[in-house]
Amino acid sequence: MTESLEHLKELWAFGQWLFCQECQFLRGVERLEDLPEFSLPEVAFAGRSNVGKSSLINSLTNRQTLARTSNTPGRTQQLNFFALANRLILVDMPGYGYAEAPKALVARWQKLIKSYLRGRPTLHRVFLLIDSRHGLKENDLEMMKMLDDVAVSYQVVLTKIDKIKPAEATRVHNETQKALTKHPAAHPHVIVTSSNLKTGVDHLKAEISQFANK
């Protein structure tokens, strides 16, 4: 028990250090043939458009504009790769559920995402962001099925928890946790966050940091 507690403390401290280091944009990829190969371990962030993905990435890295934010859903239309302290690659995936995007563009993005997930040995985990105000939606469940099918480990992160009341937050958390028991590739624990209040951000840093080269 003591050893486990010490390990958690070390991981927490390393996460704090890691996300204070330089984070560089490496490349944006829109086509399958342009997918780069990196030797560093990768973690990716996925979620519906307007789920707060870019805001959370900026909050993690203590930067305002590392990941581009927008009120227009579907703004992130490519896979964006960032190098963190030359120890870890962060991947900002295109948002899904973009009702206003042309069908041909949606199909192209979906093909890119599927190909990335299927053939990425350096990808250690996908952090799947879910808007706590809405809970799991149909396209979130479709994404979870895709991740299950390609056997990519993923962990659900509830966003915008400051936008709902505590009782509602508890309900959404419990319902989400229960839903994960039906998905073999899902990590059993849900992380609850708010980019505005920094709620859960340190917890997420610690979780991510375990995959970084040390």
Q: Dump pLDDT digits (tens) for 5-28.
A: 888 899 999 999 999 999 999 999
- In CATH terms, the fold of domain 2-209 is Rossmann fold (3.40.50)
pTM tops 0.85: yes
Torsion of CA 56, 60, 61, 62, to 10 degrees: 90
Count of Cβ atoms closer than 10 Å to residue 31 Cβ: 10
Sole residue written with tokens 């995959």: 211
In the chain, what are the domain boundaries?
2-209
Sheet holding 88-92, edge to edge: 23-29, 79-84, 88-92, 42-47, 123-131, 154-159, 191-192
CA–CA distance, 124 with 152 (Å, rounded to integer): 8
- Burial class from Cβ neighbours inside 10 Å (0-12, 13-18, 19+) for residue 204 reads buried
Between the alpha carbon of residue 151 and those of residues 36, 65, 123, 187, the distances in Å are 21, 32, 11, 12
Please state which of the ranges 18-27, 30-39, 65-74, 76-85 shows the lowest mean pLDDT.
65-74
Question: E strands within 3-153?
Answer: 23-29, 42-47, 79-84, 88-92, 123-131
pLDDT tens, 112-162?
Answer: 888 899 889 999 999 999 999 999 999 999 999 999 999 999 999 999 999
Q: How far is CA 56 from the centre of its chain?
A: 9
Do 87 and 40 touch, CB atoms closer than 8 A?
yes
